Amino acid sequence: MSSVATEPALHAGNYRGRVARRLVVLAGLAGLLVLSVAIDVSLGPARYAISDVFRTILAPGAADLQMRVVIWDIRMPMALLAVTVGASLSLAGAQMQTILANPLASPFTLGLSAAASFGAALAMVLGVALFPAALWLMVPVNAFAMAMAAALLIFGLSTLRGVTVETIVLLGIALVFTFNAALALLQYFASEQALSAVVFWTMGSLTKATWGKVAVTAVILAICAPLFARRAWALTAIRLGETRAAAMGVPVKRLRLEALFLVSLLAAVPVSFVGTIGFIGIVGPHVARLLLGEDQRFFLPGAMLAGAAILSATSVLSKALLPGAVLPIGVITALVGVPFFMVLILTKGRKSW
Amino acid sequence: MVKLALEQLGARYGQREVLSDASSPWIEGGVLTALVGANAAGKSTLFRRIAGQLRGAGAIRLSGATESDLRYMPQDTAMTAALTVYESVILALKQGKGGWRLTPSELTAVDDVLHRFGIAHLAEQQLPDLSGGQRQSVSIAQTLVTRPKVVLMDEPTSALDLYRQFEILEALRQYAAETGAVVVLAVHDLNQVMRSCTTTIALAGGRIIATGPTLEVLTPDLIRQLYGIDSRVERCSRGCPMMIVDGPSPVEFQV
């Protein structure tokens, strides 16, 4: 054939260059994340010099008590919860989009967030605890239980015969409307005080961050991410289409079920802690896809880093926009994120989503 | 040399029987084998059954190869993933293997298959930017990068221009000759079959009605039975066999 004349090593070389460029992009994302977290920790109603903040982080024993409490017990958990929640939601969205072959799939669009909001509202409006044993954690436990129930419903239905990915997406959308209607009904009957609590919760907020929440979300991320990583080749192959992937020997059905279960866990826990932060699950994966492509070896860490960096940057903005006030982060994510996202997808002009 | 034989294969979608009692003698490797039949005759079903994607009655016999040496290339479908051609072929190579790193020999295998099928210049292109014909060539590279010994390809040339059809069929013929692999192609162009494929399997209504040397199988009678078309098989001035279509068979027309 005529093209045999080309030097065979050429494309392997191009490939190595591409890998190197992607590692640089990942390092860049990680750098942005670190920078954003540093700014996040140094921002707040009490003004401290950045150098003091770092001294307190590195040597807490030497700092004065007030500063130590502000940095270590308030700002650090908030800043780190933004990282773990952002990474979890983005990873969940990335894998939902992968296994459902749908660029709109995310914890938000498939009804998990709506279910969580409804669960939280049950606690705040009616005082109903789905697990009475954990009364003091009523709101997050309810939210988690409802989100997980919604996820398991989708999961269960997807195992039925003849259920396609399109059906799953439609089911998810039906769930969004159902839970939103149920939530509206609760709000209609709620007392004024409960109503404002519900509204605040659904806006999403990191202000109730604790080290415990950081640890729980981090552990779940640390369990799920390696499980996805082990299936990197198969997950990437699924994006070539179900039949192609099956022809390559990928157990498509089993992989989809496993992934759906992990995704449910990844999405339900953060949402139960911080409320509705919808946008990250869509925008994080899309940013990673545009920067790195869909080879899961890069896409997977990229989606986590992008989600974490975006939520962390949003956390910074939510404090910086109105001095002295912390705006609800779910609102800021959408307001600031959407224009940025629009520019990104419109200027790239790729045919892949 | 690799050999493949089918014994009373069956397959059903729900209640509907799509494949029944499909048997063939030993099909020899090293040459191209055509699978011909009308639309919905069960060609894809037969491939999927052999590839293990469908369960059903019967047995598949392999000589000189194991089940893991078998690759099936489904019919062309759109690819929307944000991957380059090169990456998509790597993907096919690394399926089922551990490790994120690629060895130099693996990269050589990818380069080699891209050159072999004339798509090395597409290596850095994004999949969604490919034309239908380019995508089909990429599918072929994805299928053969693992150097399988039994290859089932569902319409590998349907989107290719005439020149590329010849180029690809010649490359496939070379591949079969080099590796001794059984290469079965579902193809609609019977003239192309006569020119390139040594053996032909004819499928009608979910049953294999003939298997053998192409010119013995593709008789006017069989072509009428398969497609309801009246035709003649004649020699062109250079001696190569050609099918000349006279038109739809009158009997079929009345039906």
Give contacts of B121 with chain A, Cβ < 8 Å.
3, 6
Measure the CA–CA gap between A119 and A183, rounded to whole angstroms.
Answer: 9
Could you tell me the pTM of the whole model? Answer: 0.88
Closest partner residue to A239 (CB to CB) among B51, B81, B121 is B81
Does the distance separating the beta carbons of A8 and B88 come in below 8 Å? no
Give contacts of A240 with chain B, Cβ < 8 Å.
79, 81, 83, 88, 91, 127
Measure the CA–CA gap between B190 and A209, rounded to whole angstroms.
Answer: 70
The predicted pLDDT at position A350 comes to: 58
Percent of chain A with pLDDT over 90: 40
What Å distances lie between residue A90 and A120, A132, A304, CA to CA? 22, 31, 6
Instruction: Indicate whether B209 pLDDT > 60.
Output: yes
**Top-confidence residue, A80 or B242:** A80
Q: What is the mean pLDDT of chain A?
A: 87
The predicted pLDDT at position B255 comes to: 46
Q: Is B71 on the interface with A (CB under 8 A)?
A: yes
What Å distances lie between residue B249 and B154, B216, B220, CA to CA? 27, 21, 11
**Residue A10 CB contacts under 8 Å (≥ 6 apart), including other chains:** B111
The predicted pLDDT at position A2 comes to: 43
Whether the Cβ atoms of residue B25 and residue B77 lie closer than 8 Å to each other: no
**Top-confidence residue, A200 or A33:** A33
Instruction: Indicate whether A271 pLDDT > 70.
Output: yes
Give contacts of A236 with chain B, Cβ < 8 Å.
81, 83, 91
pLDDT digits (tens, 9 = 90+) for A299-330: 999 999 999 999 999 999 988 888 778 888 88
Give contacts of A295 with chain B, Cβ < 8 Å.
83, 87, 91
The predicted pLDDT at position A106 comes to: 86
pLDDT digits (tens, 9 = 90+) for A53-63: 888 888 888 88
Instruction: Indicate whether A284 pLDDT > 80.
Output: yes
**Top-confidence residue, B141 or A260:** B141
Instruction: Indicate whether B4 pLDDT > 90.
Output: yes
Sorting pLDDT into bands at 50, 70 and 90, what band is A129?
A: confident
Measure the CA–CA gap between B180 and B195, rounded to whole angstroms.
Answer: 19
Q: Is A104 on the interface with B (CB under 8 A)?
A: no
Q: Is A6 on the interface with B (CB under 8 A)?
A: yes
Write down all domains in chain B, each with its CATH number in brackets.
3-248 (3.40.50.300)
Sorting pLDDT into bands at 50, 70 and 90, what band is A1?
A: very low
Q: Is B83 on the interface with A (CB under 8 A)?
A: yes
The predicted pLDDT at position B216 comes to: 93
Does the distance separating the beta carbons of A1 and B79 come in below 8 Å? no
Whether the Cβ atoms of residue B49 and residue B56 lie closer than 8 Å to each other: yes
Instruction: Indicate whether B251 pLDDT > 80.
Output: no
Does the distance separating the beta carbons of A351 and B126 come in below 8 Å? yes
Q: Which of B169, B88, B170 is nearest to B123 (CA)?
A: B88
Instruction: Indicate whether A113 pLDDT > 80.
Output: yes
Sign of CA dihedral A264, A269, A273, A277: negative
Closest partner residue to B118 (CB to CB) among A1, A236, A352 is A1
Does the distance separating the beta carbons of B120 and A18 come in below 8 Å? no
